[in-house]
Amino acid sequence: MALASEGMVAYLDSAATTPLRSEALEAMLPLLTEGFGNPSGAHAVARAARKALDEAREQVAELLGARPAEVVFTSGGTEADNLAVLGGHAARPGAVVCSAIEHHAVLHAAATLGARTAPVTAEGVIDLDALAGLLSSEVSLVAVMAANNEVGTVQPVPAVADLVAEHAPQAQMVCDAVQAFSWLDVAQLTARVGLVTVSAHKFGGPKGVGALVVRRGSRVRPILHGGGQEHDRRSGTHNVAGVVGMAAAMAATAAERTAVVERVGRLRDRLADGLVAAVPGVVETGSRRHKIAGNCHVTIAGVEAEALLVLLDAEGICASAASACASGATQPSHVLAAMGIDGPRAAGALRLSLGRASTEGDVDAALAAIPPAVERLRSGESTGFGR
Ligand code: PLP
């Protein structure tokens, strides 16, 4: 099999996914081989798998500031978000409010419940006054993410919890912390949030596994029915290796978080400053003081991001546009629109997301490749894009 990473010069798409950490791989291998048991069974092989699952649950719970019984393992962030929103609403029906910049896993699930969206400021931070205006005793669920996946803005989750307690005391609060765990102490940030979601592949764990914390006092109705695993909150045979890998990646991430945030934050600053200095018409999105350390998001005037990505890909630079492609059509980013960024500017949005594996060399490569690529596009030279 040809490895897709051959020819890769710089991976700057850590918000999309991250490489598997060695700690996760090592922890998983025994569960993928001799430890293959189904933890719901009673015999020795099953009991060994159950033990591994229980130990991972304790570790995940501790790192998220929860009790083991409050952790529900899922197939990833999307399922955890859907269980929090749809399952939370089913357990406690009422009006739903979410921020306008939620990931689609929350936004689209909430939309099926007729949710109202709270605006954000031009900096990409939820407008707390506007949120307060949407809250009332009728509201039963409020979703505000910890860190945004496109522009990296950190949301004032404790202040949101204060407002919810004051204006919608019956409401369950949902916090999608999928992008946050690498950079922020999620246990502390979400200490007063009933429903919190994470996804392993965003912090060096395997894909297809995540968790929802359901704190005491919060409730979800299952959206997957079957064998009654996870205290009847999420049926389906456990992905034991995945859960164990997630726990190992979580522990390693939390242990080195402070140092990584500092180092990667410096790399991000050099990248963003370098782009602004080298390319006229580059504007940074949102203020760095509100952002996670790994996020460098810019808009580049007069450039179509998709065309730029093709040129960068040819140079071995993996980056992303902050727009979603649905059935071949590029959709303008709902996050940028909510920040008041108009369509033409949003079309030139480039997200360069760094991670723990990012290096000075990655930044050098991006700073060497992006200015000439922008120049080529601006001069109207054909890139072959769109043929
Ligand atoms: N929430 C946020 C903020 C995300 O960035 C993502 C993934 O991009 C998800 C949820 C979905 O997670 P998963 O890929 O595990 O389904």
Closest listed residue to residue 256, CA positions, set 199, 353, 206, 183: 183
Q: What predicted TM-score, i.e. pTM, was given to this entire model?
A: 0.96
Whole-number pLDDT of residue 7: 82
- Taking residues 372-379, report their average pLDDT: 96
- Dist CA 119 CA 338 (whole Å): 7
Token duo for residue 197: 């979601």
Stretch (H or E) spanning 306: helix 305-314
Q: How far is the CA of 199 from the centre of ligand 1 (A)?
A: 7
Phi/psi region, residue 76 (left: phi>0; alpha: psi -120 to 50; beta: rest), is left
Q: How far is the CA of 196 from the centre of ligand 1 (A)?
A: 13
pLDDT digits (tens, 9 = 90+) for 196-206: 999 999 999 99
- Report the percent of the chain where pLDDT is more than 90: 93
Whole-number pLDDT of residue 216: 96
Neighbours of 97 (CB within 10 A): 22
- Dist CA 202 CA 15 (whole Å): 7
Which residue of 79, 179, 243 sits with most ligand 1 atoms within 8 Å of its CB, as the best mutation to test the pocket? 179
Whole-number pLDDT of residue 342: 94
State the closest ligand 1 atom to the C-alpha of 208, by its place in the atom list counted from 1. 15
pLDDT digits (tens, 9 = 90+) for 343-371: 999 999 999 999 999 999 999 999 999 99
Which residue of 13, 17, 75, 103 sits with most ligand 1 atoms within 8 Å of its CB, as the best mutation to test the pocket? 103
- Dist CA 167 CA 135 (whole Å): 6
Mean pLDDT estimate for the chain: 95
- Report the percent of the chain where pLDDT is more than 70: 95
23 close to ligand 1 (CB < 6 Angstrom): no
pLDDT digits (tens, 9 = 90+) for 56-84: 999 999 999 999 999 999 999 999 999 99
The answer, yes or no, to whether residue 386 has pLDDT greater than 80, is no
| Dihedral over alpha carbons 61, 63, 64, 69 (to 10 degrees) | 0
Closest-CA residue, ligand 1 atom 8, reads: 16
Block residue for tokens 């081989």 = 33
- Taking residues 128-151, report their average pLDDT: 98
With cut-offs at 50, 70 and 90, classify the pLDDT of residue 383.
low
pLDDT digits (tens, 9 = 90+) for 324-335: 444 444 678 999
Closest listed residue to residue 12, CA positions, set 361, 279, 371: 361
